[in-house]
Amino acid sequence: MFKGSIVAIVTPFKNGAVDVEALRQLVELQIENGTNGIIPCGTTGEASTLDYDEHMLVVKTVVEQVNKRVAVIAGTGSNSTDEAIDLTRKAKEAGVDGCLLVTPYYNKPTQEGLYRHYKAVAEAVAIPQLLYNVPGRTGVNLLPETVARLAPITNIVAIKEATGSLQQASEVLALCGDQIDVLSGDDFITYPMMACGAKGVISVLANIMPKTVSDLTNAFFAGDLEKARQLHLHTLKIGNAMFIESNPIPVKTALGLMGKCSDELRLPLCPISDTNKSKLAAIMKEYSLI
């Protein structure tokens, strides 16, 4: 259902508030460069520091600006099942094409708890839903066997697999077959994951290099594996630079250096260190981004 290059878009701020105009411009940048889908209010979008009204403002702004030209998949996950249901319902009302639901964080639920959480959201809101497994952030790993239990449930259509483990991604693909699509949650592993059967990537790097990430996925699905492989290798250095500090600090800094939006963050995230900013800028110059 969702395929190719899907950007986990940043939420630009200006003087402490959501910069709606800059967000609209970032959406246009993505669409002009071949991005297949846009995810507002994910990890990269600093959803954890948006209040409820801001969360919905960002979602509605992206839906309106996209105007059905590409898929919009709103981040609606929470460590409270009831809140995840409410956010997912509101996002559906706003007109999104799907919702991305991170595994409940901090609570550290069991695999049975994870299964019941996702099942409850899927049964409560009739909209395509993507599981989002990122144990480095949440403290809990959605195991392949649990994904396989969830895969037959109506409305659960895909998983963003962001363990960074090709082995775990392969196990999900092997256990689930065609019941659920798998998307890479890490730019550095997109190409090998697609070689194993993944349908694309939910990308941080696409915020600053949308055409390159789109070209990579397009080349792969067109059967030009050599071009896709070369683009994979070409983007490794800049992709790694996006995690020189906690995401989205580097990517927002990069967008600021490119003049695309402010590099403003919300506490507890803080500006990148001077040392790392210099390293990031040097790498961006190698890629002719600045």
Written as six digits, the tokens of 13 are: 């701020």
Residue 177 lies in a domain: yes
What is the count of structural domains for the chain? 1
> Rg of the chain's alpha carbons, rounded to an integer?
18
Residue 11 lies in a domain: yes
- Between the alpha carbon of residue 11 and those of residues 47, 101, 260, the distances in Å are 8, 18, 12
Domain that holds residue 61: 4-224
Residue 283 lies in a domain: no
The verdict on whether 211 is a catalytic residue reads: no
> What's the average pLDDT block by block, 10 residues per block, for the chain (290 residues)?
96 97 98 98 96 97 98 97 97 98 96 98 98 96 98 96 95 95 96 96 98 98 97 97 97 97 96 98 97
What gap in Å lies between CA 64 and CA 19, rounded to an integer?
15
User: Does the model's pTM come out above 0.85?
Assistant: yes
Residue 113 lies in a domain: yes
CATH of the domain at 219: 3.20.20.70
- Using left for φ > 0, alpha for ψ between -120 and 50, and beta otherwise, residue 228 falls in alpha
Residue 279 lies in a domain: no
What gap in Å lies between CA 172 and CA 182, rounded to an integer?
8
Catalytic site residue from 160, 199, 252, 277: 160
Catalytic site residue from 115, 118, 132, 191: 132
What 180-184 contacts at long range (C-beta under 8 Å, 24+ apart), as own/partner pairs, is 180/147, 180/150, 180/151, 180/156, 181/1, 181/2, 181/3, 181/157, 182/158, 183/2, 183/6, 183/130, 183/158, 183/159, 184/160
The verdict on whether 237 is a catalytic residue reads: no
